[in-house]
Structure 1
């Protein structure tokens, strides 16, 4: 599920590049969450998923929409107008570090450990190695754009820790995804209409509209169903590991679909990311550990 989510979110960077050529930031993000909300409401009604009606639950869904969609989507897309996709990937990959710290403070079952921190830092180093020194050389320039992407990563970390409550409330992952995208659309729409004035812009071409719909349907609607399912099953820190997998997916898709060459540095970065994920997961280390008699422990 985590790999599938990384594929969907990896594709969203490509969609954003296409859309930014014809649409301003707030309009782009509003279309993404609004179309995703329409799709998800169709799935909710077709499947008979219970719709929460308690004011407290609705308020929690609205907060999730702000923290997990409206703020980070807008900040990342705005940041991409000034910095490279590679540098944005490195900065976005700090999400698990923020999440691990917040989860260690606020979630009793996800306390911060040396193994988890070590694995996160190893994965982040892998992202940096894979993206390469060219992107790292831009660190320090365009500070506002870089700060925006880091703020988005922190917002994601807050959202994923906050989102753990929905399992306790008995809210289905599809309903959480529907509620948060609906709230994000309602939050963003007035700003997009006032600041971007999209009705005064030229009509985008068919390619842009295809990217808008694909971004909403696959990289948002379906992706967030997976996201909340993983969050309910595996916890806050594990679900945001997707942010270190996204660059791997981007490189592999480029190699398979576009015939791009995979460099030695990219392969080394992927190896570091895989090692970091293995350290965080812990099961491989437990399997390799032996008892005093020399026999491997059972899982």
Structure 2
């Protein structure tokens, strides 16, 4: 089976998606100046769900009935929204948003490993194994050799982001097993709705009732990460998936960190250690080996 090629339209959509998701790290960090991590995520999933259900209604998409869809959506809500969003939001209180975006790219590495365990048709080839090892080597380099030796909140925050990416990978397996055949739009709307139902009592218990008396910057950040970086981004995500395939879609994980790093530096004056940049280069190499196209180009006759 040959891999789909990226058309100019697909490249443009992929770049736009990377910009949307690259900006979410800055938007969340801005919101965290006034609201807690759980409340920030609650706004994201609630507003995102409302927007997507509006689109479902407009397009007259069929919605599955029964326990299977509810369980599938609930699992996706936990693994793809609540766990990673909350862990990464808390982590951004202690590490720069650009560093969070770099670690976010490890989702593809965890996905390959867990996919090989869960599915017979996603076996771990030698090339994939090398790519995973190189990629995790880049992550270790980005964290820094002294991070675990001198363990502190910064180290814990980095591990929290990695735990979030592991949760994203679990979500991919859960979605394939539990939501097969469900419209991607309906699945996304159901997932965000389940996230809202599960997170609402937890956020109210831990952080209390939101005051809603936030600054214009905080509201702008909430609107951005809920409507643009969640609802609109999901629509763009599925369009790129249909045009270019999942292999090409993985490239977005390499385009997000430069956007997040640049925005964090320009807006909040964030700086990253040299080890973070070096680690991202190594991680990129690992993902490129996983993707496989560089090796194929090397075999192409001129």
TM-score, normalised by the number of residues in structure 1: 0.79
Matches for 1:249-268 after TM superposition, within 5 Å: 249-251=259-261
Look up the match of 2:65: 53
Look up the match of 1:83: 95
Contact 1:87 1:136 in 2 (8 A): no
Matches of 1:88 and 1:136 in 2, distance apart? 18
How far does the alpha carbon of each residue in 1:197-229 deviate from its partner, in whole angstroms, 9 at most, with x for none? 134x47101111111011001111122334456
Contact 2:96 2:264 in 1 (8 A): no
Look up the match of 1:186: 197
**Shift in alpha-carbon separation, 1:2–1:158, aligned structure 2, 3 A:** farther
Moved more, 45-54 or 116-125: 116-125
Look up the match of 1:64: 76
Contact 2:96 2:271 in 1 (8 A): no
How far does the alpha carbon of each residue in 1:174-196 deviate from its partner, in whole angstroms, 9 at most, with x for none? 11111111110111111122221
- Structure 2 unaligned segments of length 5 or more: list them: 1-12
Moved more, 223-232 or 245-254: 223-232
Look up the match of 1:208: 218
How far does the alpha carbon of each residue in 1:78-132 deviate from its partner, in whole angstroms, 9 at most, with x for none? 1222233344344433322221111011122221122123334445556777xx6
Offset of residue 35 of structure 1: 0.3
Look up the match of 1:176: 187
Matches of 1:120 and 1:226 in 2, distance apart? 27
For residue 280 of structure 1, the aligned residue among 251, 272, 290 is: 290
Moved more, 254-263 or 111-120: 254-263
Offset of residue 19 of structure 1: 0.1
**Shift in alpha-carbon separation, 1:33–1:240, aligned structure 2, 3 A:** farther
Matches of 2:184 and 2:270 in 1, distance apart? 36
**Shift in alpha-carbon separation, 1:252–1:80, aligned structure 2, 3 A:** closer
Calculate the aligned-residue CA RMSD, in Å: 3.5
Contact 1:32 1:215 in 2 (8 A): yes
For residue 198 of structure 1, the aligned residue among 209, 222, 230 is: 209
If asked which structure has higher relative contact order (CA below 8 Å, sep 6+), I would say 2
Q: Helix, strand or coil: the match of 2:121? A: coil
Moved more, 148-157 or 176-185: 148-157
**Shift in alpha-carbon separation, 1:125–1:43, aligned structure 2, 3 A:** same
**Shift in alpha-carbon separation, 1:256–1:80, aligned structure 2, 3 A:** closer
Offset of residue 243 of structure 1: 3.8
Matches of 2:170 and 2:258 in 1, distance apart? 24
How far does the alpha carbon of each residue in 1:135-169 deviate from its partner, in whole angstroms, 9 at most, with x for none? 775453324433322221211110012222467x3
Q: Helix, strand or coil: the match of 2:116? A: helix
Q: Helix, strand or coil: the match of 1:109? A: helix
Contact 2:116 2:122 in 1 (8 A): yes
TM-score, normalised by the number of residues in structure 2: 0.79
**Shift in alpha-carbon separation, 1:269–1:74, aligned structure 2, 3 A:** closer
